[in-house]
Structures are given as structure tokens and as C-alpha cells.
């Protein structure tokens, strides 16, 4: 599974299932950070529509050992219950994923 397919799968899973109902605070997470994350989760889970932009950077090693950095931008739009639109514009490829409620 390539990086775009992984991103699309995560976005689709988030779209279908929604964020976690509760964020459990681990000892290493500050209480305030946990409250902010919970507020964000509550907001996103109650929204009928939302979108976000992800800046992606990753390194790969060429066959001769040189490290090469690649970048991409993904624009994700969700419309519940049946709409998902992902546009991936990267150094290695450009692609679009559209989900309209039917597989």
C-alpha cells in the first residue's frame, strides 16, 4: 500500500467511524493538552462537513544510498454521511480520490 492509499484509508476510516469518543490522558500528556484534544475531537465528530490540508514530507534512500526528501500536499474534504474528496499533489505523483457513498 503506497502513502496515498494509506492516507486515503485513514481518511475513509475517520470518515466512517469518526474520532474516538474519549481521549484517555496518559501520564505524559498534560491535562490541558488532553482537554484541547477532546474539544477538537468533539467538534470534528459533531460537524456535518469539514476539511483540512496536510503538508507531507518524507525521506527515501535511492538505490545508491543517497537520501532524497519528497514532499506533498493533501487536501481532504469530508461531507457526512456520504462524501469524501482527497486531492494529493506531490513530488512523485498527483492523484484524486472521490467517495460518494457507493463502493
Place of cell 514532499: 71
CA distance linking residue 32 with residue 7, whole number of Å: 28
Three-class SS state of 92: coil
Strands 94-99 and 83-90: antiparallel
Identify the pLDDT of residue 21: 47
Mean per-residue pLDDT, 81-100: 92
Q: Where exactly are the structural domains of the chain?
A: 3-99
Write down the pTM of the prediction. Answer: 0.62
Identify the pLDDT of residue 6: 61
**Does residue 46 have a pLDDT over 80?**
yes
Identify the pLDDT of residue 22: 44
Joined grid coordinates for residue 39: 474539544
| Residue 54, beta-bridge partner list | 74
CA distance linking residue 72 with residue 54, whole number of Å: 8
**Does residue 63 have a pLDDT over 80?**
yes
Identify the pLDDT of residue 81: 87
Q: How far apart are the first and last CA of the chain?
A: 19
Under the banding of pLDDT at 50, 70 and 90, the label for residue 8 is low
Amino acid at each position: 500500500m503506497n502513502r496515498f492509499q494509506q492516507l486515503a484509508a485513514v481518511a475513509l476510516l475517520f470518515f466512517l467511524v469518526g474520532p474516538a469518543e474519549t481521549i484517555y490522558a496518559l501520564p505524559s500528556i498534560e491535562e490541558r493538552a488532553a482537554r484541547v484534544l477532546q474539544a477538537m475531537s468533539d467538534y470534528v465528530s459533531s460537524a456535518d462537513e469539514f476539511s483540512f490540508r496536510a503538508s507531507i514530507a518524507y525521506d527515501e534512500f535511492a538505490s545508491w544510498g543517497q537520501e532524497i526528501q519528497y514532499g506533498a500536499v493533501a487536501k481532504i474534504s469530508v461531507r457526512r454521511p456520504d462524501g469524501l474528496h482527497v486531492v494529493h499533489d506531490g513530488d512523485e505523483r498527483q492523484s484524486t480520490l472521490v467517495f460518494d457513498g457507493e463502493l
